[in-house]
Amino acid sequence: MVCVHVIVVGCGRVGSGLAVGLVDEGHTVTVVDRNGKAFRRIPDGWAGTTVVGSGFDRDDLDRAGAKHADALAAVTSGDNSNILTARIARETYGIPNVVARIYDPRRAQIYLKLGIPTVATVSWTIDQVHRRLLPGEHDVAWTDPTGTLCLVERDLPDEWAGRRLSDLVDPGAISLVAVTRAGTARLDVGDLVGQEGDILHLMVSEAARADLDRLFGDGVRVGLAAPPDRADDILHGAPR
């Protein structure tokens, strides 16, 4: 696992739980909160750092290490503050993995359509924020008792936007179960064409996990080494 630097803005139940979990996994974490008393939710001996300040104040974000941060979670009690923080993190600092907690589901839909990942509720929020901060590390949502099949969640690679999602299917190895698009989960995936921001839910045999990793893994996601017309070759292991 690669150690990354994560900024958590807001030290309520979600923020403190997320921060503690990330540090336990070996990541470096800075928690930002306007109220210094909020840090009492973090246990003694915690290895992260804290900053008393605002998630949309650039001086405070600089002190939190935003210039070299890999991920930021805006999980305060205010929707407006969280969205503003998320936008500054993305647009000013270029932080690649950003997520905002939103309480109003109507607003959440709007921001999802604008490409700002949003989540809600406490225990589910910690898990979902964690998944979006560190994509690929926590992609397995379920495994059958025999360990033969697993349900995984993957972000749609940019190269698949505009392509038929049914092309991802490899009978007996990889099945597309559902797609979450603009905050709505859909089962009518047979004729869907990929859109930016889609989250794919796939049932995969353990033997095909390596094929899936080659198609969606870090090398393809970051390096963009495989053009769309080569996706089938990658999926089936043909030489490149």
Reported as a single tens digit per residue, the pLDDT across 106-155 is 777 677 767 777 776 655 567 667 767 776 555 556 666 566 888 888 88
Burial of 18 (0-12, 13-18, 19+ CB in 10 A): buried
Could you tell me if 75 and 115 lie in one domain? yes
What is the sign of the dihedral through the CA atoms of 17, 77, 183 and 88?
A: negative
Residue 194, in any domain of the structure: yes
Could you tell me if 73 and 181 lie in one domain? no
User: Which residues face 49 on adjacent strands?
Assistant: 30
Average pLDDT, the chain: 82
Give the pairing type, strands 184-186 and 199-205: unpaired
Reported as a single tens digit per residue, the pLDDT across 168-184 is 888 999 999 999 988 78
More confident of the two residues 44 and 146: 44
- State which of 133, 151, 182 marks the end of a domain: 133
Coil, helix or strand at residue 55: coil
Residue 146: domain span? 140-235
Could you tell me if 154 and 204 lie in one domain? yes
Residue 16, in any domain of the structure: yes
Could you tell me if 82 and 194 lie in one domain? no
Could you tell me if 14 and 125 lie in one domain? yes
Could you tell me if 96 and 127 lie in one domain? yes
Number of domains in the chain: 2
Lowest mean pLDDT among 29-33, 95-99, 102-106: 102-106
- State which of 133, 163, 194 marks the end of a domain: 133
Q: What is the CATH number of the domain that holds 189?
A: 3.30.70.1450
Could you tell me if 117 and 186 lie in one domain? no
Could you tell me if 195 and 161 lie in one domain? yes
Task: Determine the Cα–Cα distance for residues 113 and 71; give it in Å rounded to an integer.
Answer: 20
Could you tell me if 85 and 157 lie in one domain? no
Report pTM.
Answer: 0.59
Residue 47, in any domain of the structure: yes
Could you tell me if 41 and 107 lie in one domain? yes
Burial of 13 (0-12, 13-18, 19+ CB in 10 A): middle
Q: What is the CATH number of the domain that holds 68?
A: 3.40.50.720
Residue 240, in any domain of the structure: no
Reported as a single tens digit per residue, the pLDDT across 84-98 is 999 999 999 999 999
Could you tell me if 23 and 123 lie in one domain? yes
Could you tell me if 37 and 100 lie in one domain? yes
Confidence of residue 65 (pLDDT cuts 50, 70, 90): very high
Lowest mean pLDDT among 5-9, 56-60, 95-99, 120-124: 120-124
Q: Does the pLDDT value for residue 231 go beyond 60?
A: no
Query: φ, ψ for residue 68 (rounded to 5)?
Result: -125, 15
